[in-house]
Structure 1
Amino acid sequence: MSLGYLALGWGVPVLIILLLTHICRNAERTIDSTLGPKTEIYAGFLGIMIHEMSHWLLAKMFHHRIVDVKLLVMPWDVNLNEEHPCLGYVNTAYSDHSFYQMIGTAFIGTAPIYGCTAVIYLIYRLFTPNLLKLMTNTVESLISNPLSFSWNDFLYNFVGILKFDSRTLLLVTFAFYLIINITLTGFDLSDADLKSSYTAGIWILIFMSAIILPMVYFQMTDFLNYYLIGFVIWIVAIFSLSILTALLVDFGCHILHFFIN
């Protein structure tokens, strides 16, 4: 039972982070092989900048010292001889004697997942509230009762939303451009990001174990069932919007690759 709670509270967020990274890396590789290695900068410069700004903001919150920042490497400055060319960076330093700063590396390394999700949610909310409502209702339906979900109803409601006037169509087109630009590059955590999060992530697991195991031993499972499971459902609901968006962008990249190549 204790392992189940740990799998929910620690494993689910980690799985979401790795899944988003995998999907967006796949999309980037596809667009690079289709239109060239610098295309992701032109098509995803907003995502790169939000990615790096998220690192910077979380580094500030956890009191890391900012050594050097470059939000975007211009296409003509990219070193294509590198296996994974650097498109932007935030270099930080922290004290090994500060547990707060050390734990912060887990959140700083994965910060683009939170930052890009927040910005995409805001864009949906500002420009396409009806589509946001449909997508959130779809996620809630899949979480609460996946067997009752109907793709026919989803497509019917989606087509109904697409009946825009010219002004709304312009806003929706602009919103989709922003979302694609952010999703294409924003969620892709580098190997350095993941590596910097690894040790702190293990410490978070140990910390959670120190809380959950005694609670299970003293039969405080009602508390865990209400708060921990509720938290996990909230996390899944929030990030499912990003996962669904990332899957659509990845699918679009593969369609483009199919028609061009």
Structure 2
Amino acid sequence: MEKFILDIIKISFIQVVYALGIIVICGFLLEIIERKSNEFMQKSFGWKGILVTALIGAPVHELGHAIMCLVFRHKINEIKLIRPLASKQDGIMGFVSHSYNPKSLYQKIGNFFIGIGPIIFGSGVMLLSMKFLMNQMYNNFYSFALEQHKSITGFNTSFFIILKNIFIQLLHGIFNYGNLLSLNFWIFILIIISISSHMALSAADIKESARGIVFIYIVSLFLSLIFKITNVDINYIYSKILFFNVFLSIFLFTALSFSIIVLVINMIIYFVKNLCLQCSLEL
């Protein structure tokens, strides 16, 4: 009996990690990258630099929350897509205030997805921007990313190797001489810089997600019990979850790749500006 219970707990844990692990890892990395990127942006251009990217980035972030609210039947009490003046005082660019029925398991689980909404929606908007503005680059990138994801077997060193390969491919696709002469390219760059600079989860978002993940695990425990009793092939379930992660990871790896590019651009601007300032002082 003890072994049976331990197996159920183990299976449930693995299911949750396989299904949500990539989201958690990418969310954590995005938060670190965005914080450093905005730090360099603010040092170079002040609060106005943050505000310029927020004109697109903040509404996309809040719409990510709002869409998930609708999907999981939460009531949206108030929504502010952007607060250009008030945000200078409290640092809050926008918000979505919502409520839900605490007796509804579906709505409780929704808290997790509402919390991570900006990552999913922001990644999707960036991919769509690439498709409509840089179609050839999108086709090449999508084919390469899909091929790379076929080698994912779990959360191990291959995860980071694949991330590196996709990032390098994206870098080659974006930064070439032909793109520099295209108006669509510069519109695309503005969009990805704006979204990537405001896609990471806030402390409130993380708290929101944490409330939902508990109920996701409870549902997973129940399903694992059913699978165990009915002798369902667990490996088959794992394979389906990993198949789902293949497509989810394309979105998340894209977000991470763009965020790293934005960080590098902001670092270069900061150091070049400082170098020019030092040279002018010496003269």
Give the structure 1 partner of residue 223 of structure 2.
Answer: 211
| Contact 1:27–1:249 (Cα < 8 Å) also in 2 | yes
Give the structure 2 partner of residue 91 of structure 1.
Answer: 97
TM-score by length of 2: 0.77
| Contact 2:137–2:174 (Cα < 8 Å) also in 1 | no
Give the structure 2 partner of residue 201 of structure 1.
Answer: 213
- What count of residue pairs does the alignment treat as equivalent? 253
> For residues 28-85 of structure 1, what are the alpha-carbon distances to aligned partners after superposition, in whole Å with 9 as ceiling and x for unaligned?
22212332134211123211011112222222232222222211112x33343x4xx1
Give the structure 2 partner of residue 29 of structure 1.
Answer: 39
Aligned-pair identity in percent equals: 20
User: Match of 2:87, as an amino acid?
Assistant: V
Cα distance, 1:141 vs. partner?
4.7
Structure 1's 142 and 95: CA in aligned 2 closer, same or farther, altered over 3 A?
same
Give the match's secondary structure for 1:91: strand
Q: Which residues in structure 2 correspond to 1:210-229 (within 5 Å)?
A: 210-212=222-224, 215=227, 218=231, 220-229=233-242
Give the structure 1 partner of residue 73 of structure 2.
Answer: 63
Structure 1's 22 and 160: CA in aligned 2 closer, same or farther, altered over 3 A?
closer
TM-score by length of 1: 0.83
Match of 2:178 among 138, 163, 167: 163
| Contact 1:70–1:89 (Cα < 8 Å) also in 2 | yes
Match of 2:149 among 143, 153, 177: 143
Structure 1's 248 and 150: CA in aligned 2 closer, same or farther, altered over 3 A?
closer
RMSD: 3.0
Match of 2:190 among 177, 183, 192: 177
Distance 1:99 1:126 in 2: 38
Bigger radius of gyration: 2
Structure 1's 160 and 43: CA in aligned 2 closer, same or farther, altered over 3 A?
closer
Match of 1:45 among 48, 55, 60: 55
| Contact 1:130–1:161 (Cα < 8 Å) also in 2 | no
Cα distance, 1:248 vs. partner?
0.7
